[in-house]
Amino acid sequence: MIKAVFLDVGGTILDESREFETWADWLGVPRHTLSAVLGAVIARGLDYSETFEAFRPGIDLAAERERRAAAGKAESFGEEDLYPDARACLTALREQGLFVGLAGNQPAHAEPILRALDLSVDMIGTSEGWGVSKPSPAFFERVVHEGGGDPSSILYVGDRPDNDVRPAHEAGMRTCLIRRGPWGYILDTASVSDQCLFRIDSLDELPTLVARHNADFAIS
């Protein structure tokens, strides 16, 4: 039975399109060019940061973020960047009596912004705050700990088969792949999808699927 649901942030509840557009503008490259390079980086199984290396070899992303902030162009997001289905999904999951958390690879500035959005969640965890990033097993061990300690009762939802579904499955959790954003399409393979309890195209589908799963579990 599913007792806790953790969702990734970027690409799952948060649309990162504007974020990458502002990076393209900051680097002085056409937005479609950065998108194309990002797609190639994903298809080759590289870390997303390699996208920026293509335009500025040796770039230090942390230092570059500080330069952006100093120039009044800090990397940020807000209510307008949430996917339209995100807030209602989180609320519906909590109304089922589930423990709901956010856990994703996010820089230091993301956590206070997420908290200020007043989302219907019980906890928020970020790679910066936890000191460990996905797909490290230690990240998912922390998720299990925060979710009550029983990985089989936790559902992890993410858009990345490589960073989300596979390592969460290896940690003993149930998984859900949401197919949106470049990773959800480019890396969606049968070998990963077959491990998922659910495979969805919208968070609107998730509360009903979880409720049905738990009802079937109770009957059995």
Per-residue confidence of the chain (220 residues) as pLDDT tens digits? 999 999 999 999 999 889 889 999 999 999 999 999 988 888 888 888 899 999 999 999 889 988 998 999 888 899 999 999 999 999 999 999 999 999 999 987 889 999 999 999 999 999 999 999 999 999 999 999 999 999 999 999 999 888 899 999 999 999 999 998 777 777 777 777 788 999 999 999 999 999 999 998 877 6
Tally DSSP H helices, then E strands, for the chain.
Answer: 12, 6
Of residues 190, 186, 166, the one with CA closest to residue 176: 166
Q: What is the pLDDT of residue 112?
A: 92
**All domains of the chain, ordered by start, with CATH?**
4-15+79-219 (3.40.50.1000), 17-70 (no CATH)
- Which residues lie across from 99 on neighbouring strands? 4
